[in-house]
Chains A and B, each alone.
Chain A
């Protein structure tokens, strides 16, 4: 059974930093890309960042709204994916989901989702 467990969310002031973690299990982590999708309260879904597998050279994508502020990374030896979020803005307030795309490369649908970790940016 695929399990994705996110952690690291919380309340942070504007311009602060947080690092989200996602522990994955139940599938061949090394063969799949990983993504972070967020959902602001009562709103829709937005892809924040994704990272491909080693076979696809760990290629990354960032939404324009988070480029140069967020960094996605992965540790294949630990089946972990991370999202380092710096210079946070109030508009980054959202539930952040760790998701598994359908294969190792880009251009994916999202086959599995974690339960999400809430990030609140407020003074």
Chain B
């Protein structure tokens, strides 16, 4: 199984800051990576697919990058509505696997 290691596990940042969340795959996943945002008490929502493609309707302050085994999600100009847990997911091979999540809070 491909293991997805997310870091950090939690993050506290100020409004307007830029934050980065990392996801490390245990083997090359060839950019078959998605990012999701899960707000408290809500279902996950797709943010990014194919490592760097923005899902329709997602604000442009979210961006994804990476290749091979290393990927990141960047949030520019942090807003209060970005408080959530963020998950990465690989779909290069079964079982499709998720990272353990990064909980983002406002400082």
Interface residues of A (CB under 8 A from B): 44-47, 61, 63-64, 97, 102, 106-116
Whether the pair A44, B43 counts as a contact (CB closer than 8 A) is: no
* Bound: A46/B100 CA distance, A: 10
Would B91 and A107 count as touching, CB distance under 8 A? yes
Q: Is the CB of A109 within 8 A of B89?
A: yes
In the complex, 15 of the A-B residue pairs with CB atoms within 8 angstroms, ordered by the A residue number, are A45-B98, A47-B97, A64-B95, A97-B43, A97-B44, A106-B94, A107-B32, A108-B96, A109-B49, A110-B46, A111-B46, A111-B55, A112-B46, A114-B43, A116-B43
Q: Are A45 and B43 in contact (CB under 8 A)?
A: no
Mask: chain B, 39-70; 1 = CB below 8 Å from A; 0 = not: 00001111001000001000000000000000
The count of residues in chain B whose C-beta lies closer than 8 Å to any C-beta of chain A is 22
Whether, in the assembled complex, B34 has its beta carbon less than 8 Å from a beta carbon of chain A, the answer is yes
Known: A44-B99, A113-B44. 18 other contacts (CB 8 A): A44-B100, A45-B89, A45-B98, A47-B95, A47-B97, A97-B43, A97-B44, A107-B91, A107-B93, A108-B96, A109-B49, A109-B91, A110-B34, A110-B36, A110-B44, A110-B89, A111-B55, A112-B46
Determine if B71 is an interface residue (Cβ-Cβ < 8 Å).
Answer: no
How many residue pairs, one in A and one in B, have C-beta atoms under 8 Å apart? 50
| Residue of chain A at shortest CB distance from B49 | A109
User: Could you tell me the distance in whole angstroms from the C-beta of A19 to the nearest C-beta in chain B?
Assistant: 21
> Which chain A residues lie closer than 8 Å to B36 at the CB level?
45, 110
Once the chains are docked, how many angstroms separate the CA of A109 from the CA of B47? 11
Q: Is the CB of A44 within 8 A of B101?
A: yes
Check B32 against A113 for contact (C-beta < 8 Å).
no
How far does the Cβ of B26 sit from chain A's closest Cβ, in whole Å? 16
A41 to B95, CA, bound (A): 21
Q: Shortest Cβ distance from B10 into chain A, in angstroms?
A: 13
Tell me, in angstroms, the Cα distance from A113 to B34 when the chains sit together. 14
Task: Report the Cα distance A64→B1, complex, angstroms.
Answer: 11
